[in-house]
Amino acid sequence: MTRTSPPRPVINALRLMYAAAALAAVGIVVTAASRGAIRDSLRQSNASRPAGDRLDAGELQRAGDLAGNGFLTMAIVATVLWLAMALLLRSGRAWTRIVATVLAVLNVLLAIGMITRGVAGMAVVQSVTALIGVLVVALLWQRRSTRFFDGPVSHGGVDAPPS
């Protein structure tokens, strides 16, 4: 027996994953454009620290570069992960929706961090991405989706072995 085509909730989740990948790609541009805002945020945070705990100009520069590069790397990885998860989800393997759920939770936590300590543009992109992640998870755990994931798995055109 071969796997049936994905039900509507899984198809909608796939579409949302592609949208999230596109949004994460936009996040790469927003992050690259936000380097100055990241440094400004670090300067403001540094100014509020006690005099003995403040970073000097060189340390601030390095911290700004590190934060900017870290956020840029996360945006690139997010783009790749959204695309990879969408492609893997089509296989119907149950573990893909578990991984998608974990990634959605991480997106929500990152959005909270961006909202409370990040740059406005990055916070907006991450918040929308997190919302998409929550919608994807809701779609993937619906009853119709569960039946699809619990069915036999296709292995490159060869029927799945009987259980």
pLDDT higher at 105 or 36: 105
In this predicted model, what pLDDT tens digit does every residue of 54-81 receive, in sequence order? 888 898 889 888 988 988 898 899 899 9
- Per-residue pLDDT band at 110 (split at 50, 70, 90): confident
The residues near 95 (Cβ < 8 Å, ≥ 6 apart) are none
The backbone torsions φ and ψ at residue 12, rounded to the nearest 5 degrees and listed phi first, read: -65, -40
Distance from the Cα of residue 86 to its chain's centroid = 12
Rounded CA separation 22/33 (Å): 17
Tell me what pLDDT residue 92 has.
83
Q: What is the pLDDT of residue 157?
A: 39
- Residue-level pLDDT at 153: 58
8-33 helix and 143-150 helix, angle to the nearest 10 degrees: 100
Stronger pLDDT, 36 or 136, i.e. the higher one: 136
